[in-house]
Structure 1
Amino acid sequence: MQSFGLGESIPPDTAHAVSVSLPTWSANIGYEEGEDWVISRLTTGYPRFFIHRSIQAFAAELAEKFGAPGANLKAMLFPTRQTANRCATFVRSRAPSEDTVGLSVVNLVVDQTSPSAKALQLFCPAVSAVLCSEAAFPVAKQYWQHSGDGVSSRRAEFCHGLFRDGLLKLDDGPKSPSQKPCRGPRRYQRPNSLDQGRPNGGSSPVSPAPVAAPGEEFQETSRFLEERFGRNLDASFVEPAKSAIRRRIAGAMRGNHELSKSPLPEMESNSRGVTLREDDVYLFPCGMNAIFNAHRALLGARSSDLKSINFGFPYVDTLKILEKFGPGCVFYGNASESELDDLESKLKSGERFLALFCEFPGNPLLTCPNLTRIRQLADTYDFAVVVDETIGTFANINVLPYADIVVSSLTKIFSGDCNVMGGSAIFNPHGRYYSALKDFARRELEDTYWAEDVIFMERNSRDFASRIDRINVNAEAICDVLKTHPLVKSLFYPRYVKTSENYEICRLPGGGHGGLVSVVFNEKTQAVAFYDAIKTAKGPSLGTNFTLTSPYVLLAHYQELEWAAGFGVDPSLIRISVGLEETAHLVHVFRTALRAAEKSVASTK
C-alpha cells in the first residue's frame, strides 16, 4: 500500500481530494489543537471542515474588491443568492450586533453582454459572497459547515477564472418576475426537474440562454471551455449524468452503463421495494446538505414549531442542524429499545414531534435502530422518519419502506474515488407527507450541484455495485482478524453488534454488512501503536476505494470526548473504512499492525 506524508492529499496529487493524510496519532491531536507543525503542512482537508485553497483565494479577492476600504472583511462563498442570504440571516441571529457591522451579500452572475454568455449559460456559474467582519466569520463558518450550502472547490475554481476574465459581474437587484431559472438544454427539461413549478419561474439568479439550434449550445460551450480553460468537460453529458445518478440511487440502474445524450425512458423496476419516479430523487452538493434540506423541507411542509428527534449517536453536524435550525430537538444517544420506550411514553402523554432522524447503521458504533418499531410509532403519532443510509448503502440494505425521506452522502462509497462531494435524498411516494414535501421542493429547493462535480460523480459511481461486493468480503476478512485478538476489547460491525437483528430485517438478498469497522483496544497505548504502524491511508472520510483508517472520535468529537464516552463511544476508538485491496494483502497489513500493538504491551512491562 502507498504511504502518505503528513498533510498530503488523499488521493495524492489530487486537486479536489476529499481527505488529507494524518499518519500518526500525534498528528491527529496536533490537527485538533491547531499546532503549526501540522496545520502548516496541510495541502487540503475534508471539504466541510477545511476551506479549500481555491475557495480561500476567490473569497479573499472578493472581500478585497467589494469590502469597504480598511474594513478587513472576510468572505464565505455560496452558489446562489438564497443560500448566501440564509447564511447572512444565521450570522445576524447568532453573532453580537457589533460584529455584524458591514455584513452584506454580493451576488455575481454571468455578464450577459459578453460574447461568451450563451456558452456559459449551461453551467449557471453564479457565486454569492457573504462579506462579514473577522469577528463574525466563525459564525458564518458554522453555517457553512453545518448546512453544506457552500460552493464546491471546482465551482470556485471555475468562477474565479471567469471573474478574473471579466465574465462575472455584480447582480445588484432581485430577479424580475419575467426571468426564468437556468435549467440546461430544453431536451432535458422534464416535469421532474427541481425547477419545475416554482413561483415566478424559480429562484436561479441567471437568466435563460438564447434559443439555439439542437446541439449548437453544446458545441459552443465545449469550444469555449477548451479554448479558455482547457477543460475536459462535455456539457452535453451533464443532464444525462444527473439522470443516471438518480437512477442508480433509486436502484433502477446497475452496472457500468455509458451515458447517452438522449433522455432516458421512464424508470420501471428498482431495488427499493417502493415504486419511484426519477423526480423522487434529489441531488445535493454534499451529504450534509441533503440532511439540511430534508430538515428544511419538513419544517416547511409540516410545522416550524415542532421539535425533531435525533435517535442514536449522531454524525456531529446532523445534531447541530436539528439544534440550531428550528425549535430544537430531543436527543437519544444510544438508539436503544429503552429509549424508544421513553419516546413512546412522551408520545402517549401528548408530546408531538416533527421528525425522527437516525443513521442505519450508526457511526461509529455500527448499531442499528429498530426501524420497524420507529415506523409504527411514526404512523401512530404522526411524525416523519428520516434515515441516513450512507454507511449501510442501498446495495446492502433497503430502508426506504420505513422512511419518509432517505438521505445519503454520495461522497462516500457511491463515489469511492475520494475526489468529489455529493448527496442525495429520496422522498417516499407512499409517505403521508409526500405531497407536501413535493410542493415544498417545487417552491424552495434549488439544484446547486455543480456541473463538473456531477460529471465526476457519475463516472465514479458506474461500478458502485461491484465495488460494494468486494468491500463486503474484505470487511468480513478484517473482522475475522480482529475479533479474536486478545488486545481487542470491542469490535463494532453490523453483523456482530447486539442490534444485528435490526440490520438483518433491512438487508437485501445477497447484500452484505458494509465496509465500515470500528475497533477499541484494551489500552490507549495499544490503539496508538496500532494506528501509527498500520500501512493504510490515514485521514478523515470513509467509503473510499482504498482502506482508510482514522482515530474517528478524536477528529469528530475532540472538544467533547467525555460527552461521547457517555454514550459508549471510546475516545481511542479506531474506525476502518475498508477498501478494494487484495484480501490476503489486507489481512497481512492488519496482522502486522497488531504485532506492533503487541510490542507496545511488551515495552510497558
Structure 2
Amino acid sequence: MPDIVLGESIPPHTAHAVSVSLPTWKSNIGYEEGEDWVVGRMSTGYPRFFIHRSIQAFAADIVARVGAKDSNAFLFPTRQIAARCVCFVKARAPPAVAASLDTVHLVLDSTKPAAEALLSLSPTISAVLCSKEAFPIVKQYWQHTGDGVSSRRAEFCHTLLKDGLLRLDDEATTPAPASPKPCRGPKRYQRPSSLDATKATPPPSKLSSDRDVGTGPDTQETSRFLEERFGRNLDVSFVQPAKSAIKRRIAGALRSDSELTTAPAPEHEMESNSRGVVNLREEDIFLFPCGMSAIFTSHRALLGARGNMKSINFGFSYVDTLKILEKFGPGVVFYGHASESDLDDLEKRLEGGERFLALFCEFPGNPLLTCPNLGRIRQLADKYDFAVVIDETIGTFANINVLPFADIVASSLTKIFSGDCNVMGGSAIFNPNGRYYAALQAWARTEYEDTYWPEDVMFMERNSRDFVSRIDRINANAEAICDVLRDSPLVQAVFYPKHNESRANYEACKLPNGGYGGLLSVVLRRPEQAVAFYDAVDTAKGPSLGTNFTLTSPYVLLAHYQELDWAEEFGVDRSLIRISVGLEETEHIVNVFKAALKAAQESSGTQE
C-alpha cells in the first residue's frame, strides 16, 4: 500500500480508518511537535490520540447548544464513564480549573415514533464540557482509558441530535466515584495539540438495517428511518449473534467463517477450544470499544475485587498500560526489562512482606518482543497472592496460549484479529479456574458496562472471520523479513521472539501449529541510516499494528517522544523502527526491505 500521501487515512479513503500516513521520519517528528504542516493535513489519526472529525463535529455542536464560549466537549457513551472522567480531572486540576467542568447527557426522546426501535442500540451520549485549561487533563483520561465514544457512535448519534431524536436529559448528573490519587502526567498531555481543534467533518456514512424493526403502526416509519441512517450494512437483529461469534473466536472455539444466523450457538462448541480450558464460557469473555478499555477495566475490576494495592508492570509494555497503573489507584512498581533478575528482585520484595494487586505484562512485549517467564510468574502469584494480567495482542491466540498462566487475558481486537484497520475493539477473558474468578465476576455483574457500539461489533465480526487463516502467511512473511534484516551489516539488532534471548519463554506458550507472530523491530547502526531506511521503505507508514498490509513506524518517536532518554534506559533505542508484517507475497515484501536497506547503505556511503 505505497504512495499514501501525508495525512491521508490508512487504508486510504476509509472514513473510520485506525491509522494515518506519516511517510517520512521528519513528518513523525512534526506530528509530535504539533507542527501545522503535518497536523494541518491529517484527515484522521490513531483514535485514542487523535479525536476523529466526526467526534469533533458532534462535540462542537453540543458546545454550541449548551456550552460556554471557548469550552470543549469530550464525548463518552454513559453517565458513569463521564463521572469517572470528571473525578479524574478534579483530582489533578487546580480548583478553579476543576470548577469549569460540566456534564450533559443526551438520551432518546421517547415521544418520537422512531425512539422505541432505537432502544436496543443504546444511543446515549454523555459530554464532559471543560475549559481550555482543563482540556489536556481530560484528554489524558480519554487517551489512557479508551472509554471515549467511537467515531461510528458519534456519527450516528450526531444525526439523531440533528433530527431531534436525542434530547438533553434533565436528570441530575451521576455522582462521581471516589477520586484516585493524583499523579502528574508527562509533558505530552500538558498542552492541547492543534490536531484537536475542531474542523469540518465529511457527511456521515450510512449504515443500518434492511429489515423491519418493531411492530405496530410506526413500524414502517422506524424501519425507513433506520435504513436511511444505517444503510444496508447492519441488521440490528444480528448484533448479539455477532458478539457471540466474536467471543467464540477469542476462545479459539469458533473456526467457521460462515455467515451469521440468529440461531443460538451450540453450548458444546466452547468445550473444545485452543485455550485448553474446558469450562470456559461466553460469559467469561468481555468485549470493549478498544484494547486499552479492556486493560483499564481489568485494572478497575481487580481494584474492586481485591482492594487498593499497588500493581506491577513487568516488561517494557505499551505506553498507556503503565500510565493507567500509575494514575488510577495507589501506584505501580515498574520492571522494564522483564528479565530473570527482575523476577529475582520481585521475589525478594515478596519474601520481605510486600503485597501487590496484580502483575501486568505483555506477551511478547512492545516493541522489543521480549517474553517474560510466565511459569515463574504464575508460581510467585500463587505463592504470594497476586493476580496476573497478560496482554496477548502481539502474540495472538492463534500462535500462543497464555490463559493457563493468567487470571485475566486482555487483547486489542483492533490489531490482527480485525486486520482491516477500520474498526476498534478489545476483549478480556476471566480465567474460570483463577483464584479471583468469583470476585471478578461479582464485580462485573454490577460494574461492567457493554459500550461496544453495534455497528463496530458488526465490522469486527466480519473482519475476524478469516483471522486464523491469515496467521500462517503473516508468520512466514515476518520470518522472511527478519532473516533479511539479520543478514545485513547495516543492522545493529533485530527484535523478534524467534531470535530473542527469551525465546524459551515464548516456546513454553507456543501452540503446536503456531508461529512467532507478525511484529518485529529493527535498530540500524547509525541514526541517519534509520532515517533513510524509513523514508525509503515502500510500505504503508503510520501508527498501529496487526494490519493485513505491512505497516512501518518509528515507534519510539511516536510513543515516547517526551521521554526518549528514559526509554533508552531499558534498551529501547530512539531510532528503533517497528514493522508490522502483512499478507503481501513473500518475495515482494522481502524485496521491499532489501531496497530500503540499499537506500540506507547509500545514505551513509557504506558498502556491504
2:602 equivalent in structure 1: 599
Q: Matched residue of 1:241: which SS?
A: helix
Q: Does 1:101 align with 2:99?
A: yes
1:266-285 residue pairs with structure 2 within 5 A? 266=267, 267-275=270-278, 276-285=280-289
Shift, 1:224, TM fit: 2.5
Shift, 1:155, TM fit: 0.3
Amino acid at match of 1:244: A
Alpha-carbon contact 2:478-2:581 (below 8 Å) kept = yes
1:179 equivalent in structure 2: none
**Structure 1 residues 391-400 or 119-128, which shifts more?**
119-128
1:9 equivalent in structure 2: 9
2:293 equivalent in structure 1: 289
Q: Matched residue of 2:441: which SS?
A: helix
2:149 equivalent in structure 1: 151
Amino acid at match of 1:430: N
2:22 equivalent in structure 1: 22
Shift, 1:228, TM fit: 4.3
Q: Matched residue of 1:356: which SS?
A: strand
In 2, distance between residues paired with 1:301 and 1:37? 48
Q: Does 1:260 align with 2:276?
A: no
Amino acid at match of 1:301: A
2:59 equivalent in structure 1: 59
How has the CA–CA distance of structure 1 residues 430 and 411 changed in structure 2, closer, same or farther, with 3 Å as cutoff? same
2:234 equivalent in structure 1: 233
1:245 equivalent in structure 2: 246
Q: Matched residue of 2:121: which SS?
A: coil
1:454 equivalent in structure 2: 457
Q: Does 1:337 align with 2:340?
A: yes
Shift, 1:411, TM fit: 0.2
2:206 equivalent in structure 1: none
Alpha-carbon contact 2:79-2:173 (below 8 Å) kept = no
In 2, distance between residues paired with 1:400 and 1:502? 14
Shift, 1:101, TM fit: 2.4
Shift, 1:227, TM fit: 3.1
How has the CA–CA distance of structure 1 residues 412 and 137 changed in structure 2, closer, same or farther, with 3 Å as cutoff? same
1:405 equivalent in structure 2: 408
Q: Does 1:40 align with 2:40?
A: yes
Q: Matched residue of 1:38: which SS?
A: helix
Deviations 1:346-369 (CA, angstroms, capped at 9, x unpaired): 000100000000000000000100
2:135 equivalent in structure 1: 137
Deviations 1:432-451 (CA, angstroms, capped at 9, x unpaired): 00000000000101000000
Alpha-carbon contact 2:156-2:229 (below 8 Å) kept = no
Alpha-carbon contact 1:107-1:126 (below 8 Å) kept = yes
Amino acid at match of 2:241: P
How has the CA–CA distance of structure 1 residues 541 and 240 changed in structure 2, closer, same or farther, with 3 Å as cutoff? same
In 2, distance between residues paired with 1:407 and 1:160? 31
Shift, 1:221, TM fit: 5.8
Q: Matched residue of 2:106: which SS?
A: strand
Alpha-carbon contact 1:222-1:234 (below 8 Å) kept = no
Shift, 1:138, TM fit: 0.8
In 2, distance between residues paired with 1:514 and 1:216? 54
How has the CA–CA distance of structure 1 residues 424 and 215 changed in structure 2, closer, same or farther, with 3 Å as cutoff? farther
Q: Report the count of equivalent residues.
A: 567
How has the CA–CA distance of structure 1 residues 113 and 556 changed in structure 2, closer, same or farther, with 3 Å as cutoff? same
In 1, distance between residues paired with 2:482 and 2:216? 53
Shift, 1:545, TM fit: 0.2
Amino acid at match of 1:278: E
Alpha-carbon contact 1:255-1:466 (below 8 Å) kept = no
1:122-201 residue pairs with structure 2 within 5 A? 122-173=120-171
Q: Does 1:92 align with 2:96?
A: no
In 1, distance between residues paired with 2:320 and 2:130? 23
2:71 equivalent in structure 1: 73
Amino acid at match of 1:571: R
Alpha-carbon contact 1:95-1:136 (below 8 Å) kept = yes
Deviations 1:442-500 (CA, angstroms, capped at 9, x unpaired): 01010000000000000000000011111001001101111111001000000000000
Alpha-carbon contact 1:218-1:236 (below 8 Å) kept = no
Amino acid at match of 2:486: K
Q: Matched residue of 1:47: which SS?
A: coil
How has the CA–CA distance of structure 1 residues 109 and 28 changed in structure 2, closer, same or farther, with 3 Å as cutoff? same
Alpha-carbon contact 2:550-2:582 (below 8 Å) kept = yes
Q: Matched residue of 2:605: which SS?
A: helix
2:581 equivalent in structure 1: 578
1:420 equivalent in structure 2: 423
Q: Does 1:520 align with 2:523?
A: yes
Deviations 1:323-376 (CA, angstroms, capped at 9, x unpaired): 000000000000000010000000001000000000000000001000000000
How has the CA–CA distance of structure 1 residues 220 and 416 changed in structure 2, closer, same or farther, with 3 Å as cutoff? farther
In 1, distance between residues paired with 2:520 and 2:394? 10
- For the aligned residue pairs, the C-alpha RMSD in angstroms reads 1.8
1:121 equivalent in structure 2: 119
Shift, 1:273, TM fit: 1.1
Shift, 1:73, TM fit: 1.5
Amino acid at match of 2:154: A
In 2, distance between residues paired with 1:471 and 1:230? 34
2:203 equivalent in structure 1: none
1:431-446 residue pairs with structure 2 within 5 A? 431-446=434-449
2:195 equivalent in structure 1: none
Provide TM-score, normalisation by structure 1: 0.91
Alpha-carbon contact 1:222-1:233 (below 8 Å) kept = no
In 2, distance between residues paired with 1:118 and 1:369? 51
Shift, 1:145, TM fit: 0.3
1:317 equivalent in structure 2: 320
Alpha-carbon contact 1:411-1:418 (below 8 Å) kept = yes
Provide TM-score, normalisation by structure 2: 0.91
Deviations 1:244-301 (CA, angstroms, capped at 9, x unpaired): 0000001111141211112212122111011200110000000000000000000000
Shift, 1:240, TM fit: 0.4
Amino acid at match of 1:483: R
Shift, 1:164, TM fit: 0.6
Shift, 1:421, TM fit: 0.2
1:31 equivalent in structure 2: 31
Stretches (4+) displaced over 4 A: 212-222
1:302-381 residue pairs with structure 2 within 5 A? 302-304=306-308, 306-381=309-384
Alpha-carbon contact 1:119-1:217 (below 8 Å) kept = no
Correspondence for 1:386 among 385, 389, 394: 389
